[in-house]
Amino acid sequence: MSASGLTHPHTAAPSFTRAWLTPLELGALGAIWGASFLFMRIAAPAFGPLPLVELRVALGALVLMPFLWKARASFGPGLWPKLALLGVLNSAVPFALFAWAAQRAPAGIGAITNSMSVLFTALVAFLFYGERIGARRAVALFTGFAGVVVLASGKTGGAGVAWAAAAGTTAAFLYGIGVNMVKRHLAGLPASAVAAATLSCSALLMLPFAIATWPTQPIGTRPWLAAASLGVVCTGLAFAVYYRLIQRIGPARAVTVTYSVPLFGVAWAWLLLDEPLTPTMLIAGTLILGSVALGQQQPVARKAS
Protein backbone atom coordinates (compact mmCIF):
# COMPACT_ATOMS: atom_id res chain seq x y z
CA MET A 1 0.00 0.00 0.00
CA SER A 2 1.20 3.51 -0.78
CA ALA A 3 1.04 6.47 1.58
CA SER A 4 -2.31 7.46 0.13
CA GLY A 5 -3.75 4.06 0.96
CA LEU A 6 -3.80 2.89 -2.65
CA THR A 7 -1.57 0.24 -4.19
CA HIS A 8 0.87 1.77 -6.63
CA PRO A 9 0.39 0.12 -10.04
CA HIS A 10 4.13 -0.09 -10.69
CA THR A 11 4.82 -2.01 -7.46
CA ALA A 12 1.93 -4.46 -7.73
CA ALA A 13 2.89 -5.71 -11.18
CA PRO A 14 6.42 -6.93 -10.31
CA SER A 15 5.14 -8.75 -7.21
CA PHE A 16 2.43 -10.44 -9.23
CA THR A 17 4.94 -11.33 -11.93
CA ARG A 18 7.35 -12.89 -9.44
CA ALA A 19 4.49 -14.84 -7.85
CA TRP A 20 3.84 -16.87 -11.01
CA LEU A 21 7.21 -16.56 -12.77
CA THR A 22 9.30 -18.32 -10.11
CA PRO A 23 7.19 -21.55 -9.96
CA LEU A 24 6.99 -21.51 -13.75
CA GLU A 25 10.76 -21.24 -14.13
CA LEU A 26 11.41 -23.91 -11.47
CA GLY A 27 9.04 -26.28 -13.25
CA ALA A 28 10.53 -25.54 -16.66
CA LEU A 29 14.07 -26.00 -15.33
CA GLY A 30 13.16 -29.38 -13.81
CA ALA A 31 11.65 -30.47 -17.13
CA ILE A 32 14.72 -29.27 -19.09
CA TRP A 33 17.26 -30.91 -16.82
CA GLY A 34 15.16 -34.05 -16.70
CA ALA A 35 15.22 -34.09 -20.50
CA SER A 36 19.03 -33.90 -20.48
CA PHE A 37 19.17 -37.58 -19.48
CA LEU A 38 16.82 -38.43 -22.35
CA PHE A 39 19.08 -36.55 -24.79
CA MET A 40 22.17 -38.31 -23.43
CA ARG A 41 20.45 -41.65 -23.82
CA ILE A 42 19.81 -40.85 -27.49
CA ALA A 43 23.15 -39.24 -28.35
CA ALA A 44 25.72 -41.12 -26.24
CA PRO A 45 25.60 -44.43 -28.19
CA ALA A 46 26.26 -42.58 -31.46
CA PHE A 47 28.92 -40.11 -30.29
CA GLY A 48 30.50 -41.82 -27.30
CA PRO A 49 30.86 -40.07 -23.93
CA LEU A 50 33.82 -37.75 -24.61
CA PRO A 51 32.77 -36.32 -28.00
CA LEU A 52 29.25 -35.78 -26.63
CA VAL A 53 30.58 -33.91 -23.60
CA GLU A 54 32.75 -31.75 -25.87
CA LEU A 55 29.72 -30.73 -27.91
CA ARG A 56 27.69 -30.12 -24.76
CA VAL A 57 30.17 -27.86 -22.96
CA ALA A 58 31.21 -25.99 -26.13
CA LEU A 59 27.62 -25.16 -27.08
CA GLY A 60 26.76 -24.26 -23.49
CA ALA A 61 29.77 -21.94 -23.30
CA LEU A 62 28.75 -20.20 -26.52
CA VAL A 63 25.26 -19.50 -25.17
CA LEU A 64 26.65 -18.04 -21.93
CA MET A 65 29.61 -16.21 -23.48
CA PRO A 66 27.90 -12.76 -23.45
CA PHE A 67 27.82 -12.92 -19.62
CA LEU A 68 31.55 -13.64 -19.50
CA TRP A 69 32.34 -10.88 -21.98
CA LYS A 70 30.37 -8.38 -19.92
CA ALA A 71 32.26 -9.32 -16.72
CA ARG A 72 35.65 -9.96 -18.36
CA ALA A 73 37.41 -7.30 -16.25
CA SER A 74 36.74 -9.40 -13.11
CA PHE A 75 38.50 -12.49 -14.49
CA GLY A 76 42.22 -11.90 -13.99
CA PRO A 77 44.93 -14.38 -15.07
CA GLY A 78 45.32 -15.79 -11.55
CA LEU A 79 41.69 -16.87 -11.50
CA TRP A 80 41.79 -19.16 -14.52
CA PRO A 81 43.53 -22.18 -12.88
CA LYS A 82 40.67 -22.33 -10.35
CA LEU A 83 38.13 -21.98 -13.14
CA ALA A 84 39.81 -24.79 -15.08
CA LEU A 85 39.77 -27.09 -12.04
CA LEU A 86 36.13 -26.24 -11.43
CA GLY A 87 35.38 -26.99 -15.07
CA VAL A 88 36.87 -30.47 -14.66
CA LEU A 89 35.03 -31.20 -11.41
CA ASN A 90 31.71 -29.54 -12.16
CA SER A 91 31.30 -30.11 -15.91
CA ALA A 92 33.75 -32.27 -17.85
CA VAL A 93 34.03 -35.35 -15.63
CA PRO A 94 30.43 -35.45 -14.30
CA PHE A 95 29.01 -34.95 -17.81
CA ALA A 96 31.26 -37.74 -19.10
CA LEU A 97 30.17 -40.07 -16.29
CA PHE A 98 26.49 -39.42 -16.96
CA ALA A 99 27.02 -39.91 -20.71
CA TRP A 100 28.89 -43.16 -20.04
CA ALA A 101 26.04 -44.33 -17.81
CA ALA A 102 23.50 -43.38 -20.49
CA GLN A 103 25.10 -45.92 -22.83
CA ARG A 104 24.49 -48.71 -20.33
CA ALA A 105 21.30 -48.00 -18.38
CA PRO A 106 17.93 -46.26 -18.73
CA ALA A 107 17.85 -42.47 -18.55
CA GLY A 108 15.99 -42.62 -15.24
CA ILE A 109 19.04 -44.12 -13.49
CA GLY A 110 21.15 -41.04 -14.15
CA ALA A 111 18.30 -38.68 -13.28
CA ILE A 112 17.71 -40.36 -9.92
CA THR A 113 21.38 -40.46 -8.89
CA ASN A 114 21.79 -36.81 -9.95
CA SER A 115 19.53 -35.74 -7.08
CA MET A 116 22.19 -36.89 -4.59
CA SER A 117 24.23 -33.78 -5.44
CA VAL A 118 22.35 -31.75 -2.80
CA LEU A 119 23.32 -34.18 -0.04
CA PHE A 120 26.89 -34.48 -1.31
CA THR A 121 27.21 -30.70 -1.12
CA ALA A 122 26.52 -30.93 2.62
CA LEU A 123 28.84 -33.94 3.02
CA VAL A 124 31.77 -32.21 1.28
CA ALA A 125 31.23 -29.08 3.40
CA PHE A 126 31.39 -31.30 6.50
CA LEU A 127 34.43 -33.36 5.46
CA PHE A 128 36.64 -30.63 4.02
CA TYR A 129 35.39 -27.32 5.37
CA GLY A 130 34.35 -28.17 8.92
CA GLU A 131 30.67 -27.29 8.55
CA ARG A 132 28.27 -29.06 10.90
CA ILE A 133 26.15 -31.64 9.19
CA GLY A 134 23.52 -32.18 11.91
CA ALA A 135 21.52 -35.28 12.80
CA ARG A 136 18.81 -34.57 10.22
CA ARG A 137 21.24 -34.39 7.30
CA ALA A 138 23.17 -37.42 8.58
CA VAL A 139 19.95 -39.46 8.49
CA ALA A 140 19.21 -38.01 5.04
CA LEU A 141 22.63 -39.08 3.76
CA PHE A 142 22.20 -42.64 5.02
CA THR A 143 18.73 -42.80 3.47
CA GLY A 144 20.03 -41.47 0.17
CA PHE A 145 22.86 -43.99 0.07
CA ALA A 146 20.35 -46.74 0.82
CA GLY A 147 18.41 -45.58 -2.21
CA VAL A 148 21.53 -45.80 -4.38
CA VAL A 149 22.22 -49.33 -3.12
CA VAL A 150 18.65 -50.34 -3.99
CA LEU A 151 19.00 -48.73 -7.42
CA ALA A 152 22.34 -50.44 -8.09
CA SER A 153 20.95 -53.83 -7.10
CA GLY A 154 18.11 -53.64 -9.63
CA LYS A 155 18.00 -55.03 -13.12
CA THR A 156 16.24 -53.37 -16.05
CA GLY A 157 15.56 -55.30 -19.22
CA GLY A 158 17.83 -58.08 -17.99
CA ALA A 159 20.87 -55.82 -17.60
CA GLY A 160 22.45 -54.83 -14.29
CA VAL A 161 22.68 -51.09 -13.68
CA ALA A 162 25.16 -51.11 -10.79
CA TRP A 163 28.01 -49.48 -12.73
CA ALA A 164 25.71 -46.83 -14.20
CA ALA A 165 24.38 -46.03 -10.71
CA ALA A 166 27.97 -45.83 -9.42
CA ALA A 167 28.94 -43.46 -12.25
CA GLY A 168 25.94 -41.22 -11.57
CA THR A 169 26.63 -41.17 -7.84
CA THR A 170 30.28 -40.26 -8.45
CA ALA A 171 29.17 -37.43 -10.74
CA ALA A 172 26.81 -36.16 -8.04
CA PHE A 173 29.68 -36.21 -5.53
CA LEU A 174 31.81 -34.13 -7.92
CA TYR A 175 28.93 -31.65 -8.21
CA GLY A 176 29.02 -31.39 -4.41
CA ILE A 177 32.72 -30.51 -4.55
CA GLY A 178 32.12 -27.98 -7.32
CA VAL A 179 29.36 -26.14 -5.45
CA ASN A 180 31.58 -25.76 -2.40
CA MET A 181 34.44 -24.48 -4.55
CA VAL A 182 32.23 -21.82 -6.12
CA LYS A 183 30.93 -20.78 -2.71
CA ARG A 184 34.38 -20.40 -1.14
CA HIS A 185 36.72 -19.44 -3.96
CA LEU A 186 34.62 -17.61 -6.55
CA ALA A 187 32.22 -15.65 -4.38
CA GLY A 188 31.34 -12.19 -5.66
CA LEU A 189 31.73 -13.07 -9.34
CA PRO A 190 28.69 -13.12 -11.64
CA ALA A 191 27.48 -16.71 -11.57
CA SER A 192 26.54 -16.88 -15.26
CA ALA A 193 30.00 -15.58 -16.20
CA VAL A 194 31.61 -18.22 -13.97
CA ALA A 195 29.53 -20.89 -15.71
CA ALA A 196 30.64 -19.61 -19.12
CA ALA A 197 34.28 -19.59 -18.01
CA THR A 198 34.21 -23.10 -16.54
CA LEU A 199 32.40 -24.52 -19.57
CA SER A 200 34.95 -22.86 -21.87
CA CYS A 201 37.81 -24.40 -19.88
CA SER A 202 36.07 -27.77 -20.04
CA ALA A 203 35.69 -27.48 -23.81
CA LEU A 204 39.40 -26.74 -24.26
CA LEU A 205 40.49 -29.52 -21.90
CA MET A 206 38.17 -32.11 -23.44
CA LEU A 207 38.94 -31.25 -27.08
CA PRO A 208 41.97 -33.59 -27.54
CA PHE A 209 40.09 -36.52 -25.98
CA ALA A 210 37.02 -35.81 -28.09
CA ILE A 211 39.08 -35.72 -31.28
CA ALA A 212 40.90 -38.94 -30.35
CA THR A 213 37.64 -40.82 -29.72
CA TRP A 214 35.44 -39.20 -32.37
CA PRO A 215 33.29 -41.91 -33.99
CA THR A 216 34.33 -43.14 -37.42
CA GLN A 217 30.82 -44.13 -38.49
CA PRO A 218 28.32 -41.54 -39.76
CA ILE A 219 26.12 -39.95 -37.08
CA GLY A 220 22.40 -39.65 -37.79
CA THR A 221 20.20 -36.58 -37.54
CA ARG A 222 18.50 -37.70 -34.32
CA PRO A 223 21.71 -37.95 -32.24
CA TRP A 224 22.88 -34.60 -33.63
CA LEU A 225 19.62 -32.93 -32.62
CA ALA A 226 19.83 -34.53 -29.18
CA ALA A 227 23.43 -33.35 -28.71
CA ALA A 228 22.56 -29.81 -29.82
CA SER A 229 19.58 -29.70 -27.46
CA LEU A 230 21.77 -30.99 -24.65
CA GLY A 231 24.31 -28.19 -25.16
CA VAL A 232 22.13 -25.22 -26.07
CA VAL A 233 18.99 -25.85 -24.00
CA CYS A 234 19.98 -28.16 -21.13
CA THR A 235 23.34 -26.52 -20.46
CA GLY A 236 23.49 -22.94 -21.78
CA LEU A 237 19.92 -21.70 -21.42
CA ALA A 238 19.23 -23.79 -18.31
CA PHE A 239 22.26 -22.39 -16.49
CA ALA A 240 21.16 -18.85 -17.35
CA VAL A 241 17.69 -19.48 -15.89
CA TYR A 242 19.11 -21.24 -12.83
CA TYR A 243 21.49 -18.44 -11.95
CA ARG A 244 18.74 -15.87 -12.42
CA LEU A 245 16.65 -17.87 -9.95
CA ILE A 246 19.54 -17.91 -7.47
CA GLN A 247 19.74 -14.14 -7.66
CA ARG A 248 15.96 -13.71 -7.25
CA ILE A 249 15.05 -16.29 -4.59
CA GLY A 250 18.41 -17.44 -3.19
CA PRO A 251 20.33 -20.74 -3.55
CA ALA A 252 18.37 -22.62 -0.86
CA ARG A 253 15.08 -22.23 -2.71
CA ALA A 254 16.56 -22.50 -6.19
CA VAL A 255 18.12 -25.89 -5.41
CA THR A 256 14.63 -27.33 -4.79
CA VAL A 257 14.51 -27.85 -8.57
CA THR A 258 16.53 -30.99 -7.76
CA TYR A 259 13.34 -32.64 -6.49
CA SER A 260 11.62 -32.54 -9.87
CA VAL A 261 14.55 -33.52 -12.13
CA PRO A 262 14.32 -37.31 -11.47
CA LEU A 263 10.55 -37.24 -11.90
CA PHE A 264 10.84 -35.51 -15.27
CA GLY A 265 13.82 -37.67 -16.27
CA VAL A 266 11.94 -40.91 -15.67
CA ALA A 267 8.74 -39.53 -17.24
CA TRP A 268 10.46 -38.35 -20.44
CA ALA A 269 12.24 -41.69 -20.86
CA TRP A 270 9.01 -43.61 -20.26
CA LEU A 271 6.96 -41.44 -22.63
CA LEU A 272 9.43 -40.99 -25.49
CA LEU A 273 11.78 -43.98 -25.28
CA ASP A 274 9.44 -46.62 -23.84
CA GLU A 275 11.91 -47.27 -21.04
CA PRO A 276 10.35 -49.27 -18.19
CA LEU A 277 9.58 -47.83 -14.79
CA THR A 278 10.55 -50.69 -12.48
CA PRO A 279 9.63 -51.24 -8.80
CA THR A 280 13.33 -50.93 -7.95
CA MET A 281 13.46 -47.48 -9.55
CA LEU A 282 10.32 -46.43 -7.68
CA ILE A 283 11.70 -47.56 -4.32
CA ALA A 284 15.13 -46.06 -4.94
CA GLY A 285 13.66 -42.80 -6.23
CA THR A 286 11.42 -42.51 -3.20
CA LEU A 287 14.33 -43.07 -0.82
CA ILE A 288 16.65 -40.63 -2.59
CA LEU A 289 14.09 -37.88 -3.12
CA GLY A 290 12.85 -38.32 0.45
CA SER A 291 16.40 -38.01 1.73
CA VAL A 292 16.97 -34.83 -0.30
CA ALA A 293 13.76 -33.30 1.03
CA LEU A 294 14.69 -34.27 4.60
CA GLY A 295 18.18 -32.83 4.23
CA GLN A 296 16.78 -29.52 2.97
CA GLN A 297 14.37 -29.01 5.88
CA GLN A 298 15.40 -26.49 8.47
CA PRO A 299 14.76 -27.21 12.15
CA VAL A 300 12.03 -25.06 13.67
CA ALA A 301 13.45 -22.47 16.00
CA ARG A 302 11.99 -22.46 19.50
CA LYS A 303 10.50 -19.27 20.80
CA ALA A 304 12.03 -17.80 23.90
CA SER A 305 9.76 -18.12 26.91
Residues 189-207 pLDDT 10s? 888 898 899 999 999 999 9
Q: What is residue 168's predicted lDDT score, i.e. its pLDDT? A: 92
Higher-pLDDT residue of 39 and 20 is 39
- Length of the chain in terms of residues written: 305
* pLDDT-derived band at 43, boundaries 50, 70, 90: very high
Q: How confident is the model at residue 233 (pLDDT cuts 50, 70, 90)?
A: very high
Q: Give the separation between CA 184 and CA 66, rounded to whole angstroms.
A: 24
pLDDT at position 52 is 97
- Per-residue pLDDT, 159: 57
In tens, the pLDDT along 206-220 reads: 999 999 999 999 999
pLDDT on residue 296: 59
**pLDDT for residue 210:** 97
Residue of 110, 100, 109 whose CA lies nearest to 49: 100
At 88-114, the pLDDT tens digits run 998 999 999 999 999 988 888 888 888
Please write down the long-range contacts of 215-221, taking CB distance under 8 Å and 24 or more positions apart: 215/46, 215/47, 215/48, 215/51, 219/46, 219/47, 220/46
Instruction: Say what percent of the chain tops pLDDT 90.
Output: 39
Query: Who has greater pLDDT, 257 or 2?
Result: 257
In the chain, pLDDT over 70 holds for what percent of residues?
A: 84
Instruction: Express each pLDDT in 157-184 by its tens digit.
Output: 555 688 888 999 999 999 888 888 887 8
C-alpha distances in angstroms, 168 versus 11, 39, 152?
A: 45, 16, 10
For the chain, give the mean pLDDT.
82
Q: What is the pLDDT of residues 271-293, one digit of tens each?
A: 888 887 777 777 877 877 777 67
The number of C-alpha atoms within 13 Å of 128 and in the hemisphere containing its C-beta is: 13
Spatial distance between the Cα atoms of 33 and 235, rounded to a whole number of angstroms: 8
Task: Look at residue 242 in the predicted model and tell me its pLDDT.
Answer: 84
